[in-house]
Amino acid sequence: MLEMGWIRREAAAFQRAADWKGIKISIAELIEVDDRRKAMQREAEELRAERNRRSRGIELLMREGRKEEAQREREASASQLARLKQVEDNYRETERIYEALMLQVPNLLSPDTPQGATDRDNVEIRRSGEQPAFDFEARSHIELGESLDIVDLARGVKIGGARQYVLKNNGMLLQRAVQELALDLLLGKGFDLLDVPVMVKEETMIATGYFPGNRDQSYAIQGDDKWLAGTSEVPLVSFYSGEILDLAAPKLLGAVSACYRSEVGSAGRDVHGLYRVHQFAKVEQVVICRADLTHALEWLERMTANSEELLRLLELPYRVVAVCSGDMSQKNYKQYDIETWMPSRGSYGETHSASLLLDFQARRSNIRYRDEEGKLKHAYTLNNTMAASPRILIPLLENHQRADGSIYIPPALRPYMKGQTELRPRL
């Protein structure tokens, strides 16, 4: 958890971050609870010291044969022990309240984070690529997927219920092609690629900052202390939990994994097609670096650039936005989203997200390193979506469609698509 001394020194900033992020917590209440907790701790320590002093005194009185005085001391000690038990019980309850409040404290916001309430208040930074101008009636990814026989939504729902889907033949190949291209890009940039568990412990979800806030977005495995992770960021950060690292160079980690989200609260939004589904796959980047803000901000830009490079290879128009305070999660200090043009929506849709968390996760996960003076410090962590599917298939199909219903395949994907240059409708 965040360091309490820092929270006390920057109480107004932490309260402002909570208010702007829509997190209901009173920093003043947290400080008051911490004061009470410390006072109880001091009283308990004093009572234990007095108990030990009385015990030694009783032993001495008994050795000297002063039994009546020893008995009086025992009676006084019994009363004191009752008080100690009461204080310890109160301390444990106060400690529980304190820890629950600490888990709700948000990360601070970077000075350049836009203030706003929803994603509509995010601020565009730059755009790349031209939106296609079709001289025919363009079709949605659902229509294209069905005509190409690569997406089967009806059978997905039959198998798994709402917001499920099946990718078939070239649909499956196209998803894997994007993933393999993304992984090859990361491999070429020095990332270690991991195959990680997505069934994780509850403490892992807490340590990476997904709990308590996102518990209703996650799937629990009944009868076990396990959850299905909504991103491989969780196991990637946890890979080094409890360790002291050599961060002369940052740790660069990548993974592709299945992801699971309940999407509670999104009823009625993006319910058709492949935009918002319960199970998807994601290629993720995680960087663990030393606690140097300038250094970490450079890595945020580099991770975002990795995703932009992928989108340019896919020949897709996109824009980068600075995420506003109200659209940012508890754990993030600064965040960029990349939104890719989706013709059927007539707008850009989020496909990537890059975040700097300072030491928020590293403190919870106890990831440390030694600085130049040999002192132990908590690291900084960053994460970024390199590719999320099937959502990325929406702009791929819709932007690259042709009048005859075929789909142009960008050259960067062709080696992963068995040399195919286009997808054609079934006859």
Annotation marks residue 350 as catalytic: yes
3-class secondary-structure state, position 95? helix
Q: Which long-range contacts (CB under 8 A, 24 or more apart) does 339-343 make?
A: 340/311, 340/316, 340/392, 340/394, 340/395, 341/129, 341/131, 341/132, 341/316, 341/317, 341/395, 341/399, 342/141, 342/394, 342/395, 342/398, 343/131, 343/132, 343/134, 343/138, 343/398, 343/399
Which residue among the candidates 48, 276, 312, 363 is catalytic per the annotation?
A: 276
Structure tokens at 384: 């970024």
Best CA proximity match to 135, nearest among 422, 402, 410: 402
- Kindly list the distances between the CA atom of residue 258 and the CA atoms of 73, 168, 230, 416, in Å, as whole numbers in the listed order: 66, 17, 8, 20
Which residue among the candidates 37, 139, 261, 290 is catalytic per the annotation?
A: 261
3-class secondary-structure state, position 160? helix
Structure tokens at 350: 């989020």
Which residue among the candidates 290, 350, 368, 398 is catalytic per the annotation?
A: 350
Structure tokens at 108: 């601070």
Q: Which of the 8 DSSP states describes residue 414?
A: G
Which residue among the candidates 139, 163, 364, 391 is catalytic per the annotation?
A: 391
Q: Decide if 232 contacts 259 (C-beta within 8 A).
A: yes
Annotation marks residue 243 as catalytic: no
Annotation marks residue 137 as catalytic: no
Structure tokens at 219: 């799937």
Task: Kindly report the number of other CB atoms within 10 A of residue 19's CB atom.
Answer: 15
Q: What is Dmax (Cα atoms) for the chain? A: 109
Which residue among the candidates 232, 353, 355, 389 is catalytic per the annotation?
A: 353
Handedness of CA 162, 267, 105, 39 (dihedral sign): negative
- Kindly list the distances between the CA atom of residue 198 and the CA atoms of 123, 218, 257, 358, in Å, as whole numbers in the listed order: 33, 12, 7, 24
Structure tokens at 87: 């204080």
Q: Which residues are catalytic?
A: 261, 276, 350, 353, 391
